Amino acid sequence: MRNPTFDKQHLTEYFLFGLLGAVLYSIPLEFFLYSDKYDNFYYLYIGVGLFMAAIFYHTYRLIDRPYDKNRAVSMMMSGLLTTVTGVILASLIAFISVFIFFPDLFSTHQVINMVQGAPATGQPRYPFDLLFMILGVTIIMNMLVGAFVAVMTSYATKRDQTQDKPAVI
């Protein structure tokens, strides 16, 4: 049987579910950027949880596919490709959002109080420091939870893994 992991339908699904995860992540990000308070930094982690839910939904849907239900590795690869696509799209959305809220993003002038209520060690001195913190959460946390969910869902939802067929890569 031919491997459908890289056919047009699957690539479209990776993009759509990656976009869904990125949009769900960006909603709390917009609230954080609008509120501009350090106390609301947890909004980013709510977005990570929403991103995780989108990746879980995509991987869980693969259980009913004839090729993927017989191969846990194929399900895991699909989940990881969706995660990578979602992280790239979420990073682009985060960059554009920060640039909209802070147009002088790449200026070298120090900012007095960019994020209200932040401790001295957490206060960004330059505008691009906040972008670095947001992209750090976006890339690292979304990649970690997406990979975790893809691996756990592909193996934990399989009833009988002894009958798995090898995936053709």
pLDDT, position 77: 86
Question: What span, in angstroms and rounded, lies between the C-alpha atoms of 17 and 31?
Answer: 22
pLDDT, position 75: 80
Reading the chain (169 residues) residue by residue, the pLDDT tens digits are 566 666 787 788 889 999 999 999 999 999 988 887 777 888 999 999 999 999 999 888 887 766 655 667 778 888 899 999 999 999 999 999 988 888 877 776 666 666 666 666 666 677 777 888 889 999 999 999 999 998 888 777 666 656 655 655 5
Alpha helices in the chain (DSSP H): 8-35, 42-61, 66-69, 72-101, 127-136, 142-156
pLDDT, position 11: 84
pLDDT, position 76: 83
Domain ranges for the chain: 4-153
pLDDT, position 74: 76
pLDDT, position 115: 65
Residue 37 per-residue DSSP state: B
Tokens representing 36 are 């501009």
Whole-structure pTM value: 0.83
Question: What span, in angstroms and rounded, lies between the C-alpha atoms of 159 and 43?
Answer: 36
Distance of CA 85 to the CA centre of its chain: 8
pLDDT, position 37: 78
3-class secondary-structure state, position 117: coil
pLDDT, position 61: 84
Q: Is 94 exposed, middle or buried (0-12, 13-18, 19+ CB in 10 A)?
A: buried
Listed as own residue / partner, the contacts of 4-11 with beta carbons closer than 8 Å and 24 or more positions apart are 4/67, 5/74, 5/77, 5/78, 5/81, 5/167, 10/78
